[in-house]
Structure 1
Amino acid sequence: MPDLPQHKPVLAGTAYSGTSGASIRLEALPEGHLLHVIGAIEPAALAAELAKAGFTNSSIRKAGFRQWFVAGDEPLSPASLAALAAALAGKAFVMDQSHGRVRIGISGRSSRLLLSKGTAVDLDPAVFAEGSSAMTMVGHISVQIVRTGENSFELTVLRSFAESLWDELRHMAASAQKDGA
Protein backbone atom coordinates (compact mmCIF):
# COMPACT_ATOMS: atom_id res chain seq x y z
CA MET A 1 0.00 0.00 0.00
CA PRO A 2 1.68 3.19 -1.11
CA ASP A 3 -0.11 5.41 1.41
CA LEU A 4 1.35 3.65 4.46
CA PRO A 5 4.04 5.64 6.27
CA GLN A 6 7.59 4.45 5.65
CA HIS A 7 10.32 4.84 8.22
CA LYS A 8 13.11 7.11 6.99
CA PRO A 9 16.03 8.03 9.23
CA VAL A 10 15.67 11.74 9.92
CA LEU A 11 19.34 12.60 9.34
CA ALA A 12 19.97 10.04 6.57
CA GLY A 13 22.96 10.90 4.43
CA THR A 14 24.27 13.70 6.65
CA ALA A 15 27.83 13.93 7.85
CA TYR A 16 30.20 16.71 8.79
CA SER A 17 33.95 16.72 9.17
CA GLY A 18 35.69 19.93 10.06
CA THR A 19 38.77 21.29 8.38
CA SER A 20 42.25 21.57 9.93
CA GLY A 21 42.81 17.83 10.22
CA ALA A 22 39.17 17.02 10.95
CA SER A 23 39.27 18.29 14.53
CA ILE A 24 35.46 17.97 14.71
CA ARG A 25 33.28 15.22 13.30
CA LEU A 26 29.48 15.07 13.47
CA GLU A 27 27.61 11.92 12.53
CA ALA A 28 24.06 10.66 12.62
CA LEU A 29 24.22 7.45 14.64
CA PRO A 30 22.21 4.35 13.71
CA GLU A 31 18.57 4.53 14.70
CA GLY A 32 18.75 1.28 16.63
CA HIS A 33 16.92 1.36 19.94
CA LEU A 34 16.37 3.81 22.76
CA LEU A 35 14.40 2.73 25.81
CA HIS A 36 13.30 4.93 28.69
CA VAL A 37 13.37 3.04 32.00
CA ILE A 38 11.74 4.54 35.09
CA GLY A 39 11.75 2.92 38.52
CA ALA A 40 13.56 2.07 41.72
CA ILE A 41 16.15 -0.22 40.16
CA GLU A 42 19.89 0.29 40.49
CA PRO A 43 22.02 0.50 37.33
CA ALA A 44 23.84 -2.77 38.11
CA ALA A 45 20.53 -4.63 38.46
CA LEU A 46 19.24 -2.98 35.29
CA ALA A 47 22.41 -4.06 33.44
CA ALA A 48 21.86 -7.65 34.59
CA GLU A 49 18.25 -7.63 33.36
CA LEU A 50 19.33 -6.09 30.05
CA ALA A 51 21.88 -8.88 29.54
CA LYS A 52 19.24 -11.55 30.27
CA ALA A 53 16.89 -9.97 27.70
CA GLY A 54 19.60 -9.88 25.02
CA PHE A 55 20.59 -6.20 25.18
CA THR A 56 24.29 -7.02 25.53
CA ASN A 57 25.59 -4.12 23.41
CA SER A 58 23.39 -1.46 24.95
CA SER A 59 24.54 1.31 27.25
CA ILE A 60 22.75 2.75 30.27
CA ARG A 61 22.60 6.54 30.61
CA LYS A 62 21.19 8.38 33.62
CA ALA A 63 18.28 10.57 32.50
CA GLY A 64 17.00 11.88 35.84
CA PHE A 65 15.99 10.66 39.28
CA ARG A 66 15.36 6.91 38.92
CA GLN A 67 15.34 7.28 35.13
CA TRP A 68 17.67 5.83 32.52
CA PHE A 69 17.97 5.68 28.76
CA VAL A 70 19.12 2.38 27.31
CA ALA A 71 20.68 2.99 23.90
CA GLY A 72 22.09 0.71 21.24
CA ASP A 73 22.71 0.47 17.52
CA GLU A 74 20.68 -2.71 16.92
CA PRO A 75 16.99 -2.49 16.00
CA LEU A 76 14.54 -3.44 18.72
CA SER A 77 12.62 -6.69 18.43
CA PRO A 78 9.17 -6.94 20.02
CA ALA A 79 10.21 -10.18 21.75
CA SER A 80 13.25 -8.61 23.44
CA LEU A 81 11.21 -5.60 24.58
CA ALA A 82 8.55 -7.93 26.00
CA ALA A 83 11.23 -10.00 27.77
CA LEU A 84 12.75 -6.89 29.32
CA ALA A 85 9.35 -5.52 30.39
CA ALA A 86 8.55 -8.86 32.04
CA ALA A 87 11.92 -8.98 33.81
CA LEU A 88 11.46 -5.43 35.12
CA ALA A 89 7.84 -5.95 36.25
CA GLY A 90 7.43 -4.62 39.78
CA LYS A 91 10.83 -2.90 39.68
CA ALA A 92 10.64 -0.48 36.76
CA PHE A 93 8.67 0.48 33.68
CA VAL A 94 10.18 0.46 30.20
CA MET A 95 8.98 2.58 27.27
CA ASP A 96 10.24 2.32 23.72
CA GLN A 97 11.47 5.74 22.51
CA SER A 98 13.29 4.37 19.44
CA HIS A 99 11.14 6.15 16.87
CA GLY A 100 10.86 9.37 18.85
CA ARG A 101 14.50 10.24 19.44
CA VAL A 102 17.68 10.52 17.39
CA ARG A 103 21.32 10.14 18.44
CA ILE A 104 24.12 12.32 17.07
CA GLY A 105 27.82 11.59 17.59
CA ILE A 106 30.36 14.39 18.07
CA SER A 107 34.06 13.55 18.10
CA GLY A 108 37.46 15.07 17.56
CA ARG A 109 39.93 17.07 19.56
CA SER A 110 37.67 20.17 19.42
CA SER A 111 34.44 18.41 20.41
CA ARG A 112 34.42 19.99 23.90
CA LEU A 113 34.98 23.45 22.42
CA LEU A 114 32.04 22.91 20.05
CA LEU A 115 29.71 21.82 22.85
CA SER A 116 30.83 24.64 25.13
CA LYS A 117 29.37 27.05 22.59
CA GLY A 118 25.88 25.63 23.14
CA THR A 119 25.62 24.33 26.71
CA ALA A 120 26.64 25.32 30.23
CA VAL A 121 27.52 21.76 31.29
CA ASP A 122 31.14 21.53 32.48
CA LEU A 123 32.58 18.95 30.09
CA ASP A 124 36.06 18.85 31.61
CA PRO A 125 37.06 15.16 31.88
CA ALA A 126 37.79 15.61 35.60
CA VAL A 127 34.15 16.63 36.14
CA PHE A 128 32.33 14.88 33.28
CA ALA A 129 34.11 11.54 32.94
CA GLU A 130 33.54 8.91 30.27
CA GLY A 131 30.08 7.39 30.78
CA SER A 132 28.71 10.56 32.40
CA SER A 133 25.45 11.95 31.09
CA ALA A 134 23.42 15.09 31.62
CA MET A 135 20.05 16.36 30.49
CA THR A 136 20.58 19.93 29.31
CA MET A 137 19.90 22.46 26.60
CA VAL A 138 21.98 23.07 23.49
CA GLY A 139 20.79 26.48 22.48
CA HIS A 140 17.02 26.20 22.78
CA ILE A 141 16.85 22.41 22.26
CA SER A 142 16.62 19.86 25.08
CA VAL A 143 19.22 17.08 24.72
CA GLN A 144 20.98 14.41 26.69
CA ILE A 145 24.77 14.62 26.44
CA VAL A 146 26.84 11.50 27.12
CA ARG A 147 30.63 11.35 27.12
CA THR A 148 31.53 8.22 25.17
CA GLY A 149 35.31 8.70 25.01
CA GLU A 150 38.09 11.17 25.71
CA ASN A 151 37.08 13.38 22.78
CA SER A 152 33.70 11.96 21.86
CA PHE A 153 30.13 12.64 22.90
CA GLU A 154 26.67 11.49 21.97
CA LEU A 155 23.62 13.74 21.95
CA THR A 156 20.10 12.34 22.11
CA VAL A 157 17.35 14.66 20.91
CA LEU A 158 13.64 14.45 20.16
CA ARG A 159 13.21 13.43 16.52
CA SER A 160 11.30 16.59 15.59
CA PHE A 161 14.26 18.73 16.74
CA ALA A 162 17.03 16.62 15.16
CA GLU A 163 17.45 18.63 11.95
CA SER A 164 17.43 21.92 13.83
CA LEU A 165 20.05 20.62 16.28
CA TRP A 166 22.14 19.27 13.39
CA ASP A 167 22.15 22.70 11.71
CA GLU A 168 23.04 24.40 15.01
CA LEU A 169 25.90 21.93 15.61
CA ARG A 170 27.28 22.55 12.09
CA HIS A 171 27.29 26.30 12.73
CA MET A 172 28.93 25.85 16.14
CA ALA A 173 31.52 23.51 14.56
CA ALA A 174 32.43 26.09 11.96
CA SER A 175 32.77 28.71 14.71
CA ALA A 176 34.90 26.35 16.84
CA GLN A 177 37.18 25.76 13.82
CA LYS A 178 37.69 29.53 13.49
CA ASP A 179 38.48 29.80 17.22
CA GLY A 180 41.59 27.68 16.84
CA ALA A 181 40.16 24.20 17.00
Structure 2
Amino acid sequence: MPATQPRHVDPERKDRIIEACITVIAERGVAGTSHRVVAAKAHVPLGSMTYYFDGMHDLLHQAFERFADRAVARFDARMESAANADEACEVIAASIEHDSLASPNELNISLEFYTLAARDPSFRDISDRWMASIQHSMAQYFDAETVILLDAMIEGLTLHRALGGEPKDPQPIFDGVRRIALGK
Protein backbone atom coordinates (compact mmCIF):
# COMPACT_ATOMS: atom_id res chain seq x y z
CA MET A 1 0.00 0.00 0.00
CA PRO A 2 1.55 3.33 -1.05
CA ALA A 3 2.13 5.90 1.64
CA THR A 4 -0.03 8.96 1.27
CA GLN A 5 1.70 12.26 0.99
CA PRO A 6 0.78 14.71 3.72
CA ARG A 7 -1.38 17.47 2.34
CA HIS A 8 0.38 20.81 2.21
CA VAL A 9 -1.60 23.30 4.26
CA ASP A 10 -1.34 26.94 3.27
CA PRO A 11 -3.46 28.92 5.75
CA GLU A 12 -2.75 32.21 3.98
CA ARG A 13 -3.66 31.05 0.49
CA LYS A 14 -7.21 32.46 0.50
CA ASP A 15 -5.95 35.84 1.71
CA ARG A 16 -3.26 35.87 -0.99
CA ILE A 17 -5.88 35.15 -3.61
CA ILE A 18 -8.10 38.00 -2.39
CA GLU A 19 -5.13 40.40 -2.31
CA ALA A 20 -4.10 39.27 -5.79
CA CYS A 21 -7.65 39.85 -7.01
CA ILE A 22 -7.58 43.42 -5.65
CA THR A 23 -4.28 44.01 -7.46
CA VAL A 24 -5.60 42.55 -10.71
CA ILE A 25 -8.73 44.72 -10.51
CA ALA A 26 -6.52 47.79 -10.09
CA GLU A 27 -4.36 46.78 -13.05
CA ARG A 28 -6.91 45.31 -15.48
CA GLY A 29 -10.35 46.24 -14.20
CA VAL A 30 -13.14 43.82 -13.40
CA ALA A 31 -13.48 42.88 -17.06
CA GLY A 32 -9.85 41.77 -17.17
CA THR A 33 -10.05 39.79 -13.94
CA SER A 34 -10.26 36.03 -14.35
CA HIS A 35 -9.54 32.99 -12.22
CA ARG A 36 -6.47 32.25 -14.30
CA VAL A 37 -5.03 35.77 -14.00
CA VAL A 38 -5.70 35.98 -10.26
CA ALA A 39 -4.24 32.51 -9.60
CA ALA A 40 -1.08 33.46 -11.50
CA LYS A 41 -0.78 36.74 -9.57
CA ALA A 42 -1.29 34.89 -6.24
CA HIS A 43 1.14 32.14 -7.25
CA VAL A 44 -1.40 29.41 -6.51
CA PRO A 45 -2.72 26.51 -8.57
CA LEU A 46 -5.78 27.35 -10.66
CA GLY A 47 -7.77 24.72 -8.74
CA SER A 48 -7.43 26.83 -5.59
CA MET A 49 -9.86 29.29 -7.07
CA THR A 50 -12.78 26.88 -6.97
CA TYR A 51 -11.68 25.44 -3.63
CA TYR A 52 -11.96 28.79 -1.85
CA PHE A 53 -14.59 30.64 -3.92
CA ASP A 54 -17.95 29.77 -5.42
CA GLY A 55 -17.07 31.37 -8.73
CA MET A 56 -15.85 34.75 -9.93
CA HIS A 57 -18.80 36.59 -8.36
CA ASP A 58 -17.85 35.29 -4.90
CA LEU A 59 -14.19 36.20 -5.39
CA LEU A 60 -15.04 39.73 -6.58
CA HIS A 61 -17.48 40.18 -3.71
CA GLN A 62 -14.89 39.17 -1.12
CA ALA A 63 -12.22 41.34 -2.73
CA PHE A 64 -14.45 44.41 -2.78
CA GLU A 65 -15.58 43.71 0.79
CA ARG A 66 -11.96 43.72 1.91
CA PHE A 67 -11.26 46.92 -0.02
CA ALA A 68 -14.32 48.63 1.48
CA ASP A 69 -13.46 47.43 5.00
CA ARG A 70 -10.00 48.97 4.66
CA ALA A 71 -11.44 52.26 3.44
CA VAL A 72 -13.87 52.37 6.36
CA ALA A 73 -11.14 51.53 8.88
CA ARG A 74 -8.91 54.28 7.47
CA PHE A 75 -11.76 56.81 7.64
CA ASP A 76 -12.75 55.72 11.16
CA ALA A 77 -9.16 56.08 12.36
CA ARG A 78 -9.03 59.61 10.98
CA MET A 79 -12.38 60.51 12.55
CA GLU A 80 -11.27 59.18 15.95
CA SER A 81 -8.58 61.84 15.99
CA ALA A 82 -11.15 64.65 15.86
CA ALA A 83 -12.22 66.20 19.15
CA ASN A 84 -14.94 68.48 17.80
CA ALA A 85 -16.83 69.47 14.64
CA ASP A 86 -14.09 71.86 13.45
CA GLU A 87 -11.48 69.11 13.67
CA ALA A 88 -13.88 66.67 12.04
CA CYS A 89 -14.05 69.03 9.04
CA GLU A 90 -10.27 68.98 8.79
CA VAL A 91 -10.25 65.19 9.03
CA ILE A 92 -12.90 64.82 6.32
CA ALA A 93 -11.01 67.17 4.00
CA ALA A 94 -7.78 65.26 4.66
CA SER A 95 -9.56 62.01 3.91
CA ILE A 96 -10.71 63.34 0.54
CA GLU A 97 -7.27 64.70 -0.21
CA HIS A 98 -5.14 61.80 0.96
CA ASP A 99 -7.23 58.64 1.20
CA SER A 100 -9.71 58.79 -1.64
CA LEU A 101 -6.99 59.62 -4.12
CA ALA A 102 -4.09 57.99 -2.28
CA SER A 103 -2.88 56.11 -5.31
CA PRO A 104 -3.98 55.36 -8.85
CA ASN A 105 -4.65 51.77 -7.76
CA GLU A 106 -7.00 52.84 -4.96
CA LEU A 107 -8.82 55.12 -7.34
CA ASN A 108 -9.09 52.47 -10.05
CA ILE A 109 -10.50 49.95 -7.60
CA SER A 110 -13.04 52.47 -6.31
CA LEU A 111 -14.18 53.32 -9.82
CA GLU A 112 -14.40 49.64 -10.75
CA PHE A 113 -16.47 48.99 -7.65
CA TYR A 114 -18.85 51.88 -8.37
CA THR A 115 -19.40 50.58 -11.87
CA LEU A 116 -19.93 47.00 -10.74
CA ALA A 117 -22.33 47.99 -7.95
CA ALA A 118 -24.27 50.18 -10.39
CA ARG A 119 -24.67 47.27 -12.81
CA ASP A 120 -25.08 44.40 -10.35
CA PRO A 121 -27.35 44.94 -7.33
CA SER A 122 -25.80 41.93 -5.57
CA PHE A 123 -22.80 44.17 -4.77
CA ARG A 124 -24.90 46.91 -3.21
CA ASP A 125 -24.70 45.30 0.22
CA ILE A 126 -21.05 46.36 0.23
CA SER A 127 -21.78 49.94 -0.84
CA ASP A 128 -24.66 50.17 1.65
CA ARG A 129 -22.42 49.03 4.54
CA TRP A 130 -19.61 51.29 3.34
CA MET A 131 -21.82 54.38 3.22
CA ALA A 132 -23.55 53.54 6.52
CA SER A 133 -20.18 53.13 8.26
CA ILE A 134 -18.79 56.39 6.93
CA GLN A 135 -21.99 58.21 7.83
CA HIS A 136 -21.98 56.67 11.31
CA SER A 137 -18.45 58.00 11.89
CA MET A 138 -19.49 61.51 10.91
CA ALA A 139 -22.76 61.38 12.89
CA GLN A 140 -20.94 61.93 16.17
CA TYR A 141 -20.26 65.50 15.02
CA PHE A 142 -23.05 66.40 12.59
CA ASP A 143 -26.80 65.95 12.17
CA ALA A 144 -28.21 63.33 9.79
CA GLU A 145 -28.88 65.70 6.87
CA THR A 146 -25.38 67.19 7.06
CA VAL A 147 -23.85 63.71 7.21
CA ILE A 148 -25.62 62.71 3.98
CA LEU A 149 -24.45 65.90 2.25
CA LEU A 150 -20.88 65.39 3.46
CA ASP A 151 -20.89 61.79 2.27
CA ALA A 152 -22.15 62.90 -1.14
CA MET A 153 -19.44 65.57 -1.24
CA ILE A 154 -16.74 63.01 -0.43
CA GLU A 155 -17.91 60.72 -3.23
CA GLY A 156 -18.50 63.54 -5.70
CA LEU A 157 -15.18 65.27 -5.12
CA THR A 158 -13.37 61.97 -5.40
CA LEU A 159 -14.91 61.40 -8.82
CA HIS A 160 -14.32 64.98 -9.96
CA ARG A 161 -10.70 64.95 -8.87
CA ALA A 162 -10.16 61.50 -10.36
CA LEU A 163 -11.39 62.65 -13.72
CA GLY A 164 -9.43 65.89 -13.63
CA GLY A 165 -12.39 68.19 -13.08
CA GLU A 166 -11.23 69.83 -9.88
CA PRO A 167 -8.12 71.77 -8.93
CA LYS A 168 -5.51 69.91 -6.90
CA ASP A 169 -5.39 72.64 -4.26
CA PRO A 170 -6.74 71.19 -0.97
CA GLN A 171 -8.08 74.53 0.34
CA PRO A 172 -11.34 74.48 -1.68
CA ILE A 173 -12.03 70.98 -0.34
CA PHE A 174 -11.59 72.13 3.25
CA ASP A 175 -13.69 75.25 2.59
CA GLY A 176 -16.45 73.16 1.01
CA VAL A 177 -16.56 70.71 3.90
CA ARG A 178 -16.78 73.58 6.40
CA ARG A 179 -19.48 75.29 4.35
CA ILE A 180 -21.65 72.16 4.33
CA ALA A 181 -20.90 71.07 7.89
CA LEU A 182 -20.75 74.36 9.73
CA GLY A 183 -22.35 76.88 7.38
CA LYS A 184 -19.07 78.87 7.30
TM-score (norm: length of structure 1):
0.28
Greater share of residues in strand: 1
Structure whose alpha-carbon radius of gyration is higher: 2
Q: Which has the higher contact order (CA 8 A, sep 6+)?
A: 1
- After TM superposition, the score normalised by the length of structure 2 is 0.28
Which structure has greater helix proportion? 2
